[in-house]
Amino acid sequence: MTTPRPLGRLVNLSHVHDPATTPLYPDDPEFRADLVATIADDGYYLRYIQQGEHTGTHWGAPIHFRADGLAADELELDDLLLPAVRIDVRQLCAEDRDYAVTVGDLRGWEAEHGRIPDGAAVIAWTGWDAKWGTPEFVGTGESSGRQPGFAVETVQWLLRTGRLGGRGALGIDTFGPDLGTDETYAVSKLLYGEHRISLECLANLAALPATGAWVLVGGPLYRGGSGSPATIFGILPG
């Protein structure tokens, strides 16, 4: 007799972390995997992994942009398990690398799917997950560094209306929720203002339904950490 699983089906929303293919945010530290031991020589296999806290698929804690914000180890476990909504803006972003998700996009989503749950992870599917491992993820030439994100007024609306309630998250398949052209990180600073996190460089968003799923954020909880490389799971409804 098979014991029923207590949760719905799991899907992986993280890219494989690989120094050969993982894009790096400009000026981030090098990602290295150095061989320490081999089965042939030592009887076991071990590597020394060196990467920034925000390399590859990762999550960010409030201290990432606020000196008085909570660090990774100071958050509650409930902050890492959130109802998820996926906003599909791939076509808009394909036409404009600088596209900013609008309040109208979210209202349009709600007209079809119902109100965004309070304290949700609001995830923008820009199509950047399909660019992973290619020069197009970061951009080349005049497009270098340009990526879509959330408009500031959209995050203000999410906060004001309680949709990003006492906890919650912004998620995206790019380097982060800010437009690539915004060197002030205005969206991130708004998001981290209280008890909220970010989910960045997400993968496999085609497997996440528009509504009804949850996200579970895994990864080491570094003391004083600004976040962590992560395996982020989507938990699909029964």
pLDDT along the chain (238 residues), means of 10: 61 96 94 97 97 96 93 93 97 97 98 95 98 94 94 96 89 97 95 89 97 94 95 92
Q: How far apart are CA 95 and CA 103, in angstroms?
A: 19
The closest alpha carbon to 51, from 13, 19, 79, belongs to: 19
Q: How far apart are CA 178 and CA 200, in angstroms?
A: 11
Pair 87, 233: CB distance under 8 Å: no
The pLDDT assigned to 111 comes to: 98
The pLDDT assigned to 86 comes to: 98
The pLDDT assigned to 131 comes to: 96
SS (H, E, C) 95-142: HCCCCEECHHHHHHHHHHHCCCCCCCEEEEECCHHHHCCCHHHHCCHH
The pLDDT assigned to 3 comes to: 43
The pLDDT assigned to 1 comes to: 46
The closest alpha carbon to 20, from 31, 12, 28, 36, belongs to: 31
Pair 129, 207: CB distance under 8 Å: no
Exposure class string for 58-69: b at 16+ Cβ within 10 A, else e: bbbbbbbbeeeb
